[in-house]
Chain A
């Protein structure tokens, strides 16, 4: 009986310990999130701290007119707070969507982008920017600031639905087809995006480039409301998907034997993740790495049980994006770095490290 010793840290950790470790991770996650949220709201280029919070509230509630109160209200309640909340929901949505995709595709390297959400959203955003000054102009102007988020969301959602239609024709090979068709659609979307980018002028092209690097800069309560329903739908559905995702890890047939309604689970998972990721991309542009790196880190610490991976990913994803946003805001203040760049700078090496050092744990034997 071959018992090779692999350099996996959890190879000999008792399963009970790992579950306890997982629970602790979730607790730590909540604490970290609260801490990071407070830090995020109390830190900024204007130097305002939480001590100005009372002023901010009095301005908001009593409509006080004093310049200091109004300033505090603007910075703390209209800029930092919605930004922090947006970042948290974007991070949580992307991370959970990533974890669910990895469970669905039974592959630790899967990413919401594989089901075409990000490329579809990007294509729609580009189309809006490019065509917004031509024939689609009146509609775009009518929607005003909502045009881009709505377009991005619809783009992501429609792409995913198209994909489901293609994949479901093939019955039991659906997941593999989904993967391949997703890659194909992403390529098509990329080509169309390039085409449209060609049609735009210099100014619009810059806007596009900036948008695709991801940013929470224009965060507002409106945007928070924009993402909230979809993020909440996904996050609150977590308990219902734990069983299905754990079962699916053994394969669709096994999941069925264990009592999971596989088709329904797949449909719900794809739909909810598409909606949440579409909304996230719509309000914050494309932010990479969260969907892959975060669930992976959680699995490394606490094992692949979705009872921990899902909530853990949500919390860690939220913490990561909020922290990255603080860095984005402060590092070149009063200017800002796009958050996608920070994630790439931090995420890529971490990801590389994971793949190289823990590669053994990733491959299906």
Chain B
């Protein structure tokens, strides 16, 4: 539903993204992984329409995103950024409500409130609905913004198969329990038919939840496909510049990665296989 065609992005004489093709399809969760500075966030911002590609196009429903108005886009895709600064004392609930009131989706006050509460509950934030945003922890804030994005799509009056969620590191400040909570929610959204894109730094989570992985390095795609194909030692080592050893869960063969120091990896000769 969102497609990048031969997209290149140059900023300040540097090509941050080089000639990338990417498609987000309804009902699938795509995870972008890669080292710092690979261009993951930039790619996400190109796909959201915030950045205009230097070359190539980004299409949404086969129409060029650059030609579409902001509010047309806002009904079809919602974004959860990595960092959102908010200088004013809104409560958590009010921030979530911004997802409905700002796009101007007419849901009516009680309906909007109910929806916002539901989203907050689903993300484990029911208790802090009336707490001031500025007093929340980083992880709580991230979830508030995810709730906001979900509300935005929920009210857009566009069928889920024609919508997309793009999340930039939605789990970076969360503990394992909440990481799973968030990814379970994203998975549920995928089941509903939405296209989901998430930039993830945790390779194991990406491996466990994504239908398709995209390994990005220096603005180009090193590998793409299901986890089993992408989570290969040689690819990952090259991408991350560090010896990496993947293993597989015996029951289903899903790949996973246990952290080990770069020095120890080369010395060890298969203690985990």
Contacts and interface: CB of A to CB of B under 8 A. Distances in A.
A364 B50 contact: no
Contacts of A250: 84-86, 95, 98
What is the size category of the interface that chain B forms with chain A? 35 or more
21 contacts: A2-B137, A6-B132, A11-B131, A106-B88, A243-B102, A243-B103, A249-B86, A250-B84, A250-B85, A251-B85, A257-B73, A259-B71, A260-B70, A260-B102, A262-B70, A303-B94, A304-B88, A304-B89, A305-B90, A364-B85, A364-B87
Interface in A336-365: 361-365
B134 A365 contact: yes
Interface of A: 1-4, 6, 8, 10-16, 18, 106-108, 243, 246-247, 249-251, 253-262, 299, 303-305, 307, 361-365
Contacts of A18: 91
Interface string B251-268: 000000000000000000
Q: Which 3 residue pairs across A and B have the least CB separation, nearest first?
A: A259-B74, A259-B71, A304-B88
B107 to A, nearest CB: 14
A247 B137 contact: no
B25 interface: no
Contact of B104 (A107, A108, A243, A257): A243
Nearest to A257: B79
A6 B135 contact: yes
B69 A261 contact: yes
A13 B86 CA distance: 19
Contact of A15 (B84, B85, B93, B104): B93
Nearest to B105: A259
Contacts of A260: 70-71, 102
Contacts of B48: 257
B137 A256 contact: no
Nearest to A255: B102
B63 interface: no
B102 A1 contact: no
Given A15-B129, A254-B84, A365-B134, A259 B89 contact: no
B140 interface: yes
Given A107-B87, A108-B88, A254 B81 contact: yes
Contact of B132 (A1, A11, A251, A261): A11
Contacts of A258: 74, 98-99, 102-103, 152
Given A4-B135, A243-B101, A256-B50, A14 B130 contact: yes
Contact of A304 (B71, B72, B90): B90
A305 B109 CA distance: 14
Contacts of B45: 253
Contacts of B130: 12-15
Contacts of B84: 250-251, 254
Contacts of A255: 102
Contacts of B90: 249, 303-305
Interface string B216-260: 000000000000000000000000000000000000000000000
A361 B84 CA distance: 17
Nearest to A2: B137
Contacts of B81: 251, 253-254, 257
A232 B215 CA distance: 55
B137 A1 contact: yes
Nearest to A253: B50
B156 to A, nearest CB: 9
B134 A259 contact: no
A253 B79 CA distance: 10
Contact of A246 (B89, B101, B132, B140): B101
Contacts of B103: 243, 258-259
Contacts of A253: 45, 50, 79, 81
A6 B73 CA distance: 38
Given A246-B101, A257-B78, 13 more contacts: A2-B137, A3-B131, A243-B103, A247-B98, A250-B85, A250-B95, A254-B84, A257-B50, A258-B98, A258-B152, A259-B72, A303-B94, A304-B89
